[in-house]
Amino acid sequence: MIKVLIVDDEPGIRTVIREYVEFEGNAAFEAENGMDAVKLCREQDFDIIVMDAMMPKLDGFSACKEIKKIKDIPMLMLSARGEEYDKLFGFEMGAEDYVVKPFSPKELMARINIIAKRNQQRKIQETHEEGTLIFGGLTIDTLGRNVFVDGQKVDLTPKEYELLLYLAANKGIALTRDKLLNAVWGYNFFGDDRTVDAQIKLLRGNLGPYRDYIVTLRGVGYKFEI
């Protein structure tokens, strides 16, 4: 599941985008102008922001610039203006994509998912580069691909390690079984939900007292939470 902030002064557009975002099992939040969007971003985190360019009080370009000062949240700009100058200006302000109104909601969702996936992969890469993740007595050495429980190294299979790392890198985020299958096993894997459940069971067994860090979300999937 991803958290999407929809910023547009037109209620109808916000409603349409929200319906498509929630239909895919994601969480949607709304703001009717740039100032409200900046305030919301100070209070909580989002995986992606869909930002209208032209709004009262604070336009989307200015809001994008202000948000980038406090948090690195991917942005997709919406605008009724499709001139090259406007698109280039949006990219200069930090937007990752630019969609011209009127738009196809299905295409917009495809672009949102691509940006969200790219950002998640970037987070995982940064996690690798930082080298170590520590959650109480559970330590994940991403450079050496080692896991320690209360200082003792535990032997994980490659898939158990990748599953644990993906869960930990997305701490606090509800992940469906399909999401885990795609992220850890790949889109070409022909397994099913039972594959994830079986690996989670084995992984929990190896985490000992920290097995409860992997929380089961009934009817959804799993979440890493301490």
Model confidence over 123-150: pLDDT tens digits?
666 655 567 888 888 999 988 889 999 9
Distance (Å, whole) CA 118 – CA 7: 21
User: What CA dihedral angle connects 215, 217, 221 and 222, to 10 degrees?
Assistant: -20
pLDDT over 80 at 86, yes or no? no
Q: Confirm whether pTM is higher than 0.75.
A: no
Its CATH class, for the domain covering 131-224, is: mainly alpha
Q: What are phi and psi of 95, to 5 degrees?
A: -70, 145
- The ranges assigned to domains in the chain are 3-121, 131-224
At 188 the pLDDT is: 55
Q: Note whether 102 and 79 are within 8 A (CB).
A: no
Read off the pLDDT band of 52 (50, 70, 90). Answer: very high
Residue 99 β-bridge partners: 78
User: Residue 215 burial by CB count (10 A; 0-12/13-18/19+): exposed, middle or buried?
Assistant: middle
Distance (Å, whole) CA 44 – CA 200: 29
At 217 the pLDDT is: 93
Read off the pLDDT band of 192 (50, 70, 90). Answer: low
Q: When comparing pLDDT for 202 and 95, which is higher?
A: 202
Overall fold of domain 3-121: Rossmann fold (3.40.50)
Q: What is the mean pLDDT of residues 181-186?
A: 83
Q: What is Dmax (Cα atoms) for the chain?
A: 59
Residues 6+ apart with CB under 8 A from 65: 93, 94
pLDDT over 80 at 51, yes or no? yes
